[in-house]
Structure 1
Amino acid sequence: MALFVILAGCNMLPQRSEQDVGAEIPDQWVEERTISQPVFEHWVEIFGDPQLSNLVSSALANNYELKAAAARVDAAIAQARIDGASRWPQLSFFVEHEQMQIREAGFGSARFGVFEALFGLSWELDVWGRIRDFQQAAVLEADATAVDYHGARLSLAARVAQSYFELIEANLQAAVVEQSVKDRNIIVSLVRGRFQRGLVRGLDLRLALTDLANAEVELKEARNQIQIITRRLEILLGRYPEGKEMDVATLPSLPTDIPAGLPSELLERRPDVVAAYSRLQAADFRTVSSKKLRLPRITLTAAGGTRSTDLTELIDPRAAAWNVITGLVQPLFTGGRIRGEIFRNEAFAEGALNFYKSTALNAFREVEQALAAEEWLRQQEISLRKAVEQTEASQKLAVYSYRNGLIEILTLLDSYRSTLNAQSAHLFITRQLLNNRINLYLALGGKV
C-alpha cells in the first residue's frame, strides 16, 4: 500500500498554465489607442528597403554569434538523446587474444595463445517512467534552446536594422554639419569683407573664425561616428571590420500600421517567454524523476562468451557459457542523497517558475513601453520639424540683418547654431521613431 502512495505522489506533475504570470493579463494593451492588429510575420520587409533586407539576410547567414547559438541547439538535441539512452539495453562485445607461456621444472616451457569472445548486457526496466521523465526534461531543454536560437535570430535582425538606420542618420548628420561648415565659410567671408571696409571690429572676425573652427571639429566627429557604426555593422554581418564606406540612402518612412496583437498572444509568440516556460516544465519533470529514485528498480544483467585456444572454436555456440540475472534494487538508506536530489530539483523548479513570471511581465512592459513611446516620439518629431522650419527662416533674416548692421555678430552665429541643432535633433528623433518601432517588433516576437 505504501508503494502505491509513493508512486501516486511521484507521478503527479504540477498543474501549470502559461497564463499564470503572477498578475492579471488585460484584454487589450493599456497604451494602445486603436483596435489590435495582427503582428507582422516578417517585419523587416515592412520598411520597404531592399538594402536593409539584404543586410539582414547576410547577417542571418554569416553572423558567428548566431552560428554558435545554432551549435548549442545541436548540443542540446544530442544531450536529450544521451539522457534517453538508459531506456534501452546496453550491449557490449569484445574479442581479445592472450599469449601465455608455462614453465615446468625439468620439462621446459610451453607457449600458446587463448582467444576470448565476451559480451555483456545491462538493462534497467523503466517500469515507473523515471528515465523517461528525465529524458523528457532534456527534450524540453532542447526545445527551449531551439527557441533561444529563434530569439537570437530576431535580436540579430533588430540590431542590424537599428545599426543600419543609425548609419544612415550618421551620414545625414555629417551632411548637415558639412553644409554648416560651408555656411560658416560664407559668414567668415562676409565678416572679413566688412572688416576690411572698416564696418565691423576685429572681434567679429575672430568670433566668426572660432565658430568655423568649431564646426570643422563637429564635422570630423560626425565622420568618425560613421566609421564606428560601420565597423559595428560589419561585425554583425560576419565581415572584417575594415570600416568600408557603405552606400546608404535616407531614412525610410515610419510604417503607419501598429501591429500589437493581444497581450495573451505574447505568451505563445515571444521567444524568451516560450523558452522560460519550457525550462519550467523541464524542471518539473526532473523533480518527478528524482522522486522516483525512491522506488524499486528492476534490472536485467547478462554476460557470456567463449574461450578457446583454437580460433575456429570461438564461434561455436556450443562452447559458449552465459548467465542472466534479474535483480530488484530498493533504496533503503542513501545518506540523504535522494532527499537532497528532490529538494534541489524542487528549488530549481521554484526558481524557474519565478523566472518565467519575471520574463513574462518584463515582456509586457517592453511592449507597453514601445506603444507609449510611439505617440510621444511622433509629437517630438512634429515639433522638431517646425523648429527646423523656423530656424532656417530666422537664419536668412539674421544674414540680411547683419549685412545691414541691424544685429550683432553673436546673434548671427547663434542663428546658425540653432539651425544646426534643430536639424540634428530632427534627424535623431526620426531615427528614434524607427528604432522604437523595431523595439516593438522585437518585444512582440515577430519573425524574420
Structure 2
Amino acid sequence: MNNKGSNSSAETPHNVRRPIFASSVGFAKRKSCWPFNPRPALVLPLFLLLPGCAVGPNYKRPPVAAPTVFRGPTETAQAQQASFADLPWWDIFHDETLTALIKTALANNYDLAVAVARVEQANQIVAQARSQYFPTLGYAIYPSYGHNQFIYSPIAPPSGAQGFLMAIARASWEPDLWGRIRRTNEGARAQLLATEEARRGVMLTLVSNVSQAYFELLGLRLQLEVANESKQSFTTTLTLVTQRVHEGLGNELQTSRAASDLASASGSIPELERQIALKENQLSLLMGKDPGPIDTKPKFLGEIPPEVPAGLPSTLLERRPDILAAEAAMKNANAQIGVAQAAFFPTFGLSTFFGKLSTPLERLSSSQTNAWSLAASLSGPVFTAGAITAQKQQAIASWEQTKAQYNQTALSAFRDVSDALITREKLDATRAEQAKAVQSNEDAVRLMSLRFTNGRVSGLDVLESKQRLYSSQLAISQTEINRRLIIVQLYRALGGGWNLTDAQWMAANSQPSTQNPPPSTKP
C-alpha cells in the first residue's frame, strides 16, 4: 500500500499516485502526518489531535559537486582559506577618484533603489503571511429607518416609521492543522531572502560596473594621449621629410607616406574623443546624474593587488549573491509543495459574533437585545477532477526547475572564477612581453631618427619604426586596462564584499567582519 505520508526511497515525487515526500535530492525525510491515504471520512475524528502538523518536505540543500580548487595559475593549485573577496571594495585599488564615484553610485543609482523597493515589498508580503497565524477581528453596524406592516400579525404594528440599529462584533480563526500557513510563511521568507540577496547582488554589480567603466575611461584617455603624441611625432617627421625632399635628398613617396601616417594618427583622435564622452555618460548614468564630464587623474591607473587568492570553491555557495538568491528560490519552491499538499486536507475554522439589535435606537444598551453565536466549520475536497493533484505536481516541477537553476548558477560561478584567474595570469605574461616590445621600438625610433639626421636611412625607415612604436604603445595601454578589469571581474566572481554590512558598503571606511552578516531585512 502506498501511504500518503510515506518516505520510501523507491518512490519519486513525479508519480501522481505516490506521495511527494519520496527521497530525492533536496527533499529531507520527515515525520509523516498521516499513515494512510487521507479521506474525509477517516480524518474527521482525528483533526483535533494533530495541531501544528506541517505536510510537505522540509528543505534540504541539494549537494553541489564543487571542485576542490579552482582551475587557474600554478600558484593556486593548493587550496587557500583566504580569499580576495574578503577585502572591502575600497581596498582593492586605493584610488580616491574611483572610491568617490562608487560611493556616489551607491547613494544615487536607480537600479539599486528599485532593488531596495523590492525588498520592502517582500517584507510586507512576509507580514501578510504571518498575519494568517492570528484571529481576525471585525465589526459591522447596520442602522435603518422604516415602517413594517404585518397583515396577519395578532400584534398591532407600531404606528409610523421606526429606527433600527444592529451592531455586531465578530472574530474568526483558522487553526494551522496541516501546516499550510507555516509553509506559506516559509515561502514568503524565502522570497524575502531572494530579494535581499538580489539587492546585494545589485550593489556588487554596481561597484563592478562603475569600476569597469572608470578603467575603460582611463584606457581611452591613455590611448588619446598616445594618439596625440603620435600625431606630434608624425608631424615632426613629415616636416623633416618634406624639407629633405626640397633639398633633393628624398622623394614624393616618402612625403606621401609621412602624410598618410599623420592623417591616420589624427583621424583616431575624434573617434577616441567620442568614445570618452560616451563612457563619461555611462558613468554619469550609473551615478544617477545627468550626462557630464568625469574628472580623472592624468596617466594614473592605480595599483594592482600583487596577490589575489581565490579561496575554496565551496565558499562561493555562501558568498555569491546570485547563488544565495537561487537557493532562496529553491526554498520557496519547496515550501509551495507543502502548500499544495495541504489542499488535500480539510480546512477547519472557528468563528463567533456578538451583536445587539434595538428598536428604537435608545434601547441598544439593553441586555434583552443581545445576540451571539459560536460556530465551527470543516470543509474539504471530495472531487476536483485532478485539480489539486495537478497543483501538487506543478509545485514539484517548479522545485525541479529551481534546483536545476541553482546547480547551473553554481557551475557558472566556478567557471567565472577560473576564467578570471587564467585571464589574469596570461595578461601579466602578455604585459611583460609588450613592455619589452615598447622598449625595443623606442630604441629603434631613437636610432632611426639619429641615422635619418645623418642621412644614413630614408624617411620611410623612420616612419615604419614610429608606426611600430605607436602600435605597441596602444597595445600595452589596453593590456594595462585589461589587467585592472580582470581584477574587477574576479572580485565580482568571488562574491566580493560578502562580509560587509549595508552601512559599510555605503560608508567605505570601516573594517569588514570575518563572518557572513545576516541581511538587515531577513526575518
Q: TM-score, normalised by structure 1?
A: 0.92
> Cα gap change, 1:64/1:254 in structure 2, threshold over 3 Å: closer, same or farther?
same
- Give the alignment of 1:28-427 within 5 angstroms: 28-32=69-73, 33-34=75-76, 35=78, 36=80, 37-38=82-83, 39-100=85-146, 110-241=160-291, 243-249=292-298, 250-316=300-366, 318-427=368-477
Task: Give the Cα–Cα distance (whole angstroms) in 1 for the partners of residues 174 and 346 of structure 2.
Answer: 11
Any unmatched runs of 5+ in structure 1?
none
Task: Give the Cα–Cα distance (whole angstroms) in 1 for the partners of residues 185 and 177 of structure 2.
Answer: 15
Pairwise CA distance, 1:437 = 1.0
Instruction: Look up the SS of the partner of 2:417 in the other structure.
Output: helix
Task: Give the Cα–Cα distance (whole angstroms) in 2 for the partners of residues 83 and 77 of structure 1.
Answer: 10
Pairwise CA distance, 1:58 = 1.1
Query: Letter of the aligned partner of 2:72 in structure 1?
Result: E
Task: Give the Cα–Cα distance (whole angstroms) in 2 for the partners of residues 221 and 298 of structure 1.
Answer: 73
**1:382-429 CA distance string (max 9 Å, x none):** 011111111111112222333344444333222222111111111111
Task: Give the Cα–Cα distance (whole angstroms) in 1 for the partners of residues 297 and 368 of structure 2.
Answer: 82
> Cα gap change, 1:188/1:103 in structure 2, threshold over 3 Å: closer, same or farther?
farther
Query: Letter of the aligned partner of 1:63 in structure 2?
Result: N
Instruction: Look up the SS of the partner of 1:294 in the other structure.
Output: coil
2:61 aligned residue: 17
Query: Letter of the aligned partner of 1:246 in structure 2?
Result: D
> Cα gap change, 1:313/1:6 in structure 2, threshold over 3 Å: closer, same or farther?
farther
Task: Give the Cα–Cα distance (whole angstroms) in 1 for the partners of residues 414 and 138 of structure 2.
Answer: 54
Instruction: Look up the SS of the partner of 1:118 in the other structure.
Output: strand
Is the 1:101–1:110 contact (alpha carbons within 8 Å) kept by the matching residues of 2? yes
Is the 1:306–1:321 contact (alpha carbons within 8 Å) kept by the matching residues of 2? yes
Query: Does 296-305 or 280-289 show the bigger shift?
Result: 296-305
Task: Give the Cα–Cα distance (whole angstroms) in 2 for the partners of residues 174 and 199 of structure 1.
Answer: 34
Task: Give the Cα–Cα distance (whole angstroms) in 1 for the partners of residues 160 and 108 of structure 2.
Answer: 68
Query: Does 295-304 or 383-392 show the bigger shift?
Result: 295-304
Task: Give the Cα–Cα distance (whole angstroms) in 2 for the partners of residues 84 and 382 of structure 1.
Answer: 61
1:5 maps to which of 36, 60, 66 = 36
Pairwise CA distance, 1:112 = 4.0
Following TM superposition, the consecutive aligned residue runs of length 4 or more in structure 1 with deviations greater than 6 angstroms are 7-10, 102-105
Task: Give the Cα–Cα distance (whole angstroms) in 2 for the partners of residues 235 and 390 of structure 1.
Answer: 42
Pairwise CA distance, 1:6 = 5.0
Pairwise CA distance, 1:327 = 1.5
Pairwise CA distance, 1:309 = 4.1
> Cα gap change, 1:5/1:53 in structure 2, threshold over 3 Å: closer, same or farther?
farther
What is the number of equivalent residue pairs in this alignment?
443
Query: Letter of the aligned partner of 2:124 in structure 1?
Result: A
> Cα gap change, 1:378/1:315 in structure 2, threshold over 3 Å: closer, same or farther?
farther
Task: Give the Cα–Cα distance (whole angstroms) in 1 for the partners of residues 93 and 194 of structure 2.
Answer: 30
**Structure ranking higher in helix proportion:** 1
**1:273-329 CA distance string (max 9 Å, x none):** 111111111111110121121112211122342233444443556523121211222
Task: Give the Cα–Cα distance (whole angstroms) in 2 for the partners of residues 98 and 408 of structure 1.
Answer: 112
Task: Give the Cα–Cα distance (whole angstroms) in 1 for the partners of residues 125 and 367 of structure 2.
Answer: 38
> Cα gap change, 1:213/1:309 in structure 2, threshold over 3 Å: closer, same or farther?
farther
> Cα gap change, 1:315/1:371 in structure 2, threshold over 3 Å: closer, same or farther?
farther
> Cα gap change, 1:318/1:269 in structure 2, threshold over 3 Å: closer, same or farther?
farther
**1:243-283 CA distance string (max 9 Å, x none):** 32413341112101213111111111111111111111111
> Cα gap change, 1:213/1:318 in structure 2, threshold over 3 Å: closer, same or farther?
farther
Query: Letter of the aligned partner of 2:469 in structure 1?
Result: T
Is the 1:40–1:259 contact (alpha carbons within 8 Å) kept by the matching residues of 2? no
Query: Does 388-397 or 112-121 show the bigger shift?
Result: 112-121
Instruction: Look up the SS of the partner of 2:164 in the other structure.
Output: strand
Task: Give the Cα–Cα distance (whole angstroms) in 1 for the partners of residues 127 and 37 of structure 2.
Answer: 28
Query: Letter of the aligned partner of 1:244 in structure 2?
Result: P
1:445 maps to which of 495, 499, 504 = 495
Is the 2:250–2:458 contact (alpha carbons within 8 Å) kept by the matching residues of 1? no
Pairwise CA distance, 1:69 = 0.5
